[in-house]
Structure 1
Amino acid sequence: MTLELIKMIIFILLGTKVAGHLCNRFNLPVVFGELTLGLLLGPAILNMVQETDGIAMFSEIGIILLMFLVGLESDLNLLRRYLKPAIIVATFGVFVPFIFIAILGHLIGMGTPESFFLGIIFSATSLSITVQVLKEYDYLDNEAGSITLGAAILDDTLVVILISIFTAVVTFDASVGFTATMAWDLIGKKVLFFFIMYLVAKYFITPAMNLSSKMNAIKAKTAMALVLCFAFTIFAEEMGLSDIIGSFFIGLMLSSHEHSHEIETDIDTIGNSLFIPVFFVSIGLGINIEALYSQFGLIFLLSLGAILTKLMGGYFAARLMKVNRKSSFVIGSGMVSRGEMALIVAKIGQESGFITNEFFTVVIAAIIITTLISPLLLKFSIGLEQNDNDEVTA
């Protein structure tokens, strides 16, 4: 088992570096090459890499480290500055696809609960895919990048709350009524998470990092940062939020610390040399080629609806907040990818019986198609804005 895992890791690491080289040469987002590599190496084509427990573990660590890095590299003041437009974009970005995809589900013959759950699946945004492209093109520290990042984070939180509300409604017992336990699960846990995060940021992080800097041990500061990262990943899960919400926010809290640059460099080396490539490749492993052929029309319709609803929702919300057209297109494009969050929600739907095993493959294919298209769309929209800025400068 261990040797088989090592063999697959070798294929992934060599493949992602070759894919990265080719993407840079042909001016494509590197993450597009990594996602496509997952399809190539996976069971759909070459069958050199499978979705094993070991690959899943490396992948999970990869996304946690990626979001921790994004937090470390983010400007807290910039995120605060664009909080209001981010809230509006996230709200439109969740409810526009939720409504239209739920209607689509009803039109193709799904029941009401199943249609609503399908809408929830495609309300999610892949924070990791989006930020990887924004990082690659140095777009995290401007208006469009900050709004997109903030909206994607809030989007994930809203989707988690939507799932909680949906589950509460479906399982609601009128004879019992709305209980304190339900209120705690829906809202209380989320409020407690952010309150404790605030207390940790204010009273704990600086003493903990100062203590680690005094230790006579190799990379003690980075180790302490990782302890905080993994601890808040667990805490976020316990509070009913996505684990990446925890890793991002603790990274954000550490971003203003005096040793943040050193920590960022170390985490970047650890993550991008091993774990993060495994995560991106793992997304492409779930494609079933036969399903792509047999259910092509339905997959195409669902994928098109998923892309347009996120793109238009993000675009019009940004325009509503007085963002210029090309920056609004960047923001809308940044909300398109579904990636890991939608995959997780889809799996919940399958296990709960709201998504049948037959339709599950269609949903997964549509999620992966939006994930493959999103980096290209985001790169195109960034290029349009940069060209416009260059013309203004000239």
Structure 2
Amino acid sequence: MLEELLIALIAILIGTKLAGHLCNLIGIPAVIGELLVGIILGPAMLSIVQPTDLIHMFSQIGVILLMFLAGLESDLGLLKKYMKPSVSVAVTGIIFPLILCAIVGSLFNLSWLSSLFLGIVFSATSVSISVQVLRDYRRLDSEEGSIILGAAVVDDIVVVLLVSIFATFINMEGDFALNGAFFWDLLGKKLLFFGLTYVFAKYMVKPLLKWTKRIVATEGETSIALVLCFTFAVLSEVLGMSDVIGAFFMGLILSNHSSKERIENKVVTIGYALFIPVFFVSIGLDIRFSAFKEHAMFIVLLSLAAVISKLVGGYISARASHINKNNAWLVGAGMVSRGEMALIIVQMGKSLDLVTGSIYSAIVVAIIIATLVSPLLIKFFIERGDKELAVKG
């Protein structure tokens, strides 16, 4: 058992790092290469890595760390400066794909519950991929870059809440009687979680981290940060939500602390050196090539709906906030990428049996396509904007 795990980890780490290197050379997100490694190493092709329970546990830790980092990397200060346009872009960026992708699901005879979940999956936006692309083009500090990042933060929070509420209905197994138990499961547990989170953030986190600095031990601060991450992951699970939600909000709490960068650097090393690559590869392990033949039209229409809904939704809200046309399109393009956020949510849907088999593979393919298209759209609108400025100049 140990030998099989070590062989799988060797293959995963070598494969993902080489894939990441190649992706960086050709200018596409490394996550795409990691997903492809899962397909290549998994049952679809070479069968070197199998979706075992141990691989699943490693991947679950990877999801928790990934969401913790997503919270840490969120800059809440941007929401204060660009609150109105960011919220507006986030709202349309959730409503448009929620409706359009749900319609696509219903056209292909998915249940209303699965279709609604499909819309939620494609309402997500990848913060990390948007940040990387904007940094590469030196537009992070621009007005449109700040709106994209601010909207991505709001988008992540709202979609995470939507997923948690949706999961509550699923776990009730059709019993929707309007009684105390219903409202406790739907809202009570969530309010308790956020109440505890608020109390911890306001009164406990600073004294705790200050005390941590007095500990004479190797990487004491990082260890305590991971303890908090895992503790809130367990807490959110106990209160009827996914463990990744607790990890995400703990990251948000620590994102405003002076030790944020030190913690982030250490957790990035821990996560991306082992656990997070296993998560992305594990998703690729479940993909079967039969999905391409069986659901070709579904993949095409879902990909188009995913791209158009975010692009147009972001454009409309940005224009309403008096952003010029090209930069408004750039804002929309920055919201198109789904990346790890959508992959995490669709994985949750699989665990709830909302998406299974080849449909699951088809949805992952559509997520990959949307993630690939986003950097290309961003590049196009940035270059077009630069040309317009050059002509005016």
TM-score after normalising by structure 2: 0.85
| Cα deviation code 1:178-218 (max 9, x no counterpart) | 10111111122222222211111111111111111101111
Residue in 2 that maps onto 1:232? 232
CA distance in 2, matches of 1:154, 1:126: 9
Deviation per residue, 1:33-60 (Å, 9 max, x gap)? 1112111111111111111111111111
The yes-or-no answer on 1:265 pairing with 2:265 is yes
Distance 1:335 1:278, change over 3 A: closer
Displacement of 1:154 = 1.2
Partner of 1:283: 283
Does 2:329 correspond to 1:332? no
**Aligned counterpart in structure 2 of residue 115 of structure 1, from 102, 112, 117:** 112
For the structure 1 residues 156 and 93, does the alpha-carbon distance in structure 2 shift closer, same or farther, using more than 3 Å as the test?
A: farther
- Of the three residues 128, 133, 138, the one matched with 1:132 is 128
Query: Residues 311 and 169 of structure 1: is their aligned pair in 2 closer, same or farther, counting only changes over 3 Å?
Result: farther
Which residue pairs with 2:163 in the alignment? Answer: 159
Q: Deviations over 1:353-381 (max 9, x none)?
A: xx6xxxx3242122211221133222123
Among all aligned residue pairs of Structure 1 and Structure 2, give the percentage whose two residues are the same amino acid.
39
Mark the CA change 1:18 to 1:238 in structure 2 (over 3 Å): closer, same or farther.
same
**8 Å contact 1:165–1:186 — kept in the other structure?**
yes
Deviation at 1:287, TM superposition (A): 0.9
Whole-Å separation in 2 of the counterparts to 1:276 and 1:309: 29
Q: Could you tell me how far 1:91 is from its partner in structure 2?
A: 4.1
Q: Which runs of 5+ in 2 are unaligned?
A: none
Q: 1:211 to 1:236 in 2, by over 3 A?
A: same
Amino acid across the alignment from 2:129 = V
CA distance in 2, matches of 1:211, 1:191: 29
Distance in 1 (CA, whole Å) between partners of 2:196 and 2:161 is: 17
**Cα gap change, 1:295/1:68 in structure 2, threshold over 3 Å: closer, same or farther?**
closer
TM-score in terms of structure 1 length: 0.85
Cα distance change on mapping 1:326 and 1:291 into 2, 3 Å: closer
Q: Take 1:106 and 1:131, find their aligned partners in 2: how far apart are those partners?
A: 29
For 1:318 and 1:362, locate their aligned partners in 2 and report how far apart those are by CA, in whole Å. Answer: 37
Q: Which runs of 5+ in 1 are unaligned?
A: none
* C-alpha distance in 2 between matches for 1:314 and 1:116: 26
2-side partners of 1:321 and 1:166: how far apart?
Answer: 37
1:143 aligns with one of 147, 168, 176: 147
- 1:359-378 correspondence to structure 2 within 5 Å: 360-378=356-374
Aligned pairs for 1:1-394 (under 5 A) are 1-109=1-109, 114-125=111-122, 130-137=126-133, 138=135, 142-165=146-169, 170-172=174-176, 177-323=177-323, 324-335=327-338, 338-350=342-354, 360-387=356-383, 390=386, 392=389
C-alpha distance in 2, partners of 1:67/1:103? 29
Residue 318 of structure 1 and its aligned partner are, at CA, apart by 4.5
Deviation of 1:298 after TM superposition, in Å, equals 3.8
The separation in 1 between residues aligned to 2:301 and 2:374, in whole angstroms, is 21
Q: 1:307 to 1:291 in 2, by over 3 A?
A: same
Change (3 A) 1:367 1:314: farther
Q: Give, in whole Å, the separation in 2 of the partners of 1:383 and 1:179.
A: 52
CA distance in 2, matches of 1:257, 1:367: 37
**2:241 partner letter:** L
Residues 66 and 57 (structure 1), Cα distance of their counterparts in 2 relative to 1, 3 Å cut: same
Change (3 A) 1:77 1:373: same
8 Å contact from structure 1 (residues 72, 264) kept in 2: yes
Matched AA of 2:119 = F
Residues 144 and 93 of structure 1, relative CA distance in 2, 3 Å threshold? closer
Counterpart contact for 2:126–2:338, Cα < 8 Å: yes
Can you list the C-alpha shifts for 1:266-315, whole angstroms capped at 9, x where unaligned? Answer: 11111111111111112211111123223433444444444444544454
The two structures, once aligned, show a CA RMSD in angstroms of 2.8
The aligned amino acid for 2:344 is: E
Q: Report the Cα distance in structure 1 between the residues aligned to 2:82 and 2:190, rounded to whole angstroms.
A: 22
CA deviations on 1:225-273 (whole Å, 9 max, x unpaired) are 1111111111122233332222222122212322222222211111111
1:326-352 per-position Cα deviation (integer Å, ceiling 9, x unaligned): 3332343135873120231243144xx
Q: What secondary structure does 2:60 align onto?
A: helix
